[in-house]
């Protein structure tokens, strides 16, 4: 089955690299017009040059309401509609026991990973999707489904995103579908500290599918959830993690 997004317009936050760039590429190749956004204009411009026709950018900080408004309005002005929102941008400024986190880094993690997706969705809903329908794809993490000795704060925000997905799916139906992806360890710059060198080899060896994930693995699932092919799917979280959650508890 060929999955297409012809005539659709998508916004991808954090779309200049990693998982976001992989999703943007898949959407462009499927025929969509894609507005990518991230903090650095030069990174966005480089991504658009790489993706070619069908890719656009408007730089902005995902956690700033005025930037969210500017990106949404620029998308409507330049592309005429917003059919898909991918809430991908995330941050992880703290590693260590959750009980020891300081308030500034706790607040920053929640602002970017949970508050921003909520209010980007609200803005897109009010400006276009409430009347015309659409699809929202949230990028959570497999960490939102389990505990971790050093990534607990990040994982708490991702667990909350899973519930936010269910809540918004119930509230915005039937016009808008809201679904969530929970990636395992993906070979991106964002997660480099977790896979670089022999660390990645050890994790890969512990997985049933014996390899780490690539941005393309997440992009394929996001494409399905954004397209009409998944028109009877909403409120779901799909773990894309190489089998980590089923492998006899040998998760690294």
Residue extents of the structural domains in the chain: 9-240
How far is the CA of 131 from the CAs of 126, 128, 165, in angstroms? 8, 6, 20
Residue 62: DSSP 8-state: T
Q: What is the pLDDT of residues 58-102, one digit of tens each?
A: 999 999 999 999 999 999 999 999 999 999 999 999 999 999 999
Confidence at residue 251, expressed as pLDDT on a 0 to 100 scale: 46
Mean pLDDT for 120-131 is 98
Q: Return the structure tokens found at 137.
A: 């794809």
**3-class secondary structure per residue, 36-58:** EECCCHHHHHHHHHHHCCCEEEC
The lowest-confidence range among 9-13, 187-191, 210-214 is 187-191
Q: Indicate the helix (H) or strand (E) that contains 158.
A: helix 152-172
Mean pLDDT for 154-180 is 98
Residue 53: cis peptide before it, omega within 30 degrees of 0: no
- 205, pLDDT greater than 50: yes
CATH T-level topology, domain 9-240: Rossmann fold (3.40.50)
Pairing of strands 55-57, 176-183: unpaired
- 32, pLDDT greater than 80: yes
CA neighbours within 13 Å on the CB side: how many for 249?
A: 0
The lowest-confidence range among 53-57, 189-193, 202-206 is 189-193
CA–CA distance, 249 with 238 (Å, rounded to integer): 19
The lowest-confidence range among 10-24, 55-69, 189-203, 238-252 is 189-203
CA–CA distance, 196 with 185 (Å, rounded to integer): 11
Mean pLDDT for 212-224 is 94
The model's confidence at residue 200, banded by pLDDT at 50, 70 and 90, is confident
Q: How much of the chain exceeds pLDDT 90, in percent? A: 83
* Annotated catalytic residue within 57, 94, 128, 154: 154
Confidence at residue 84, expressed as pLDDT on a 0 to 100 scale: 98
Can 94 be counted among the known catalytic residues? no
The model's confidence at residue 252, banded by pLDDT at 50, 70 and 90, is very low
CA–CA distance, 232 with 228 (Å, rounded to integer): 9
End-to-end CA distance of the chain: 35
Q: Return the structure tokens found at 96.
A: 């260590």
Chain CA centroid to CA 131, Å: 24
């Amino acid at each position: 089955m060929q999955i297409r997004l012809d005539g659709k317009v998508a916004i991808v936050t954090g779309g200049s690299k990693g998982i976001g760039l992989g999703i943007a590429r898949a959407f462009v190749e499927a025929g969509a017009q894609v507005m990518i956004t991230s903090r650095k204009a030069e990174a966005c411009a480089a991504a658009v040059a790489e993706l070619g026709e069908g890719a656009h950018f408007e730089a902005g900080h995902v956690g700033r309401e005025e930037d969210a408004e500017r990106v949404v309005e620029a998308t409507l002005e330049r592309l005429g509609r917003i059919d898909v929102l991918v809430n991908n941008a995330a941050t992880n400024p703290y590693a260590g026991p959750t009980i020891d986190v300081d308030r500034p880094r706790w607040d920053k993690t929640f602002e970017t990973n949970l508050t921003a997706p909520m209010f980007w969705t609200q803005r897109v809903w009010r400006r276009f999707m409430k009347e015309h329908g659409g699809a929202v794809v949230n990028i959570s993490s497999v960490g939102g489904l389990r505990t971790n000795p050093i990534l607990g704060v990040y994982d708490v925000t991702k667990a909350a995103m899973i519930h936010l997905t269910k809540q918004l799916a119930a509230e915005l139906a039937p016009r808008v579908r809201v679904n969530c992806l929970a990636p395992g360890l993906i070979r991106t710059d964002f997660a480099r500290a977790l896979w670089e060198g022999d660390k990645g080899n050890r994790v890969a060896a512990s997985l049933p599918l014996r390899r780490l994930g690539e941005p393309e693995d997440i992009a394929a699932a996001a494409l399905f959830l954004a397209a009409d092919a998944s028109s009877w799917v909403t409120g779901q979280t799909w773990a894309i993690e190489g089998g980590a959650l089923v492998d006899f508890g040998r998760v690294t």
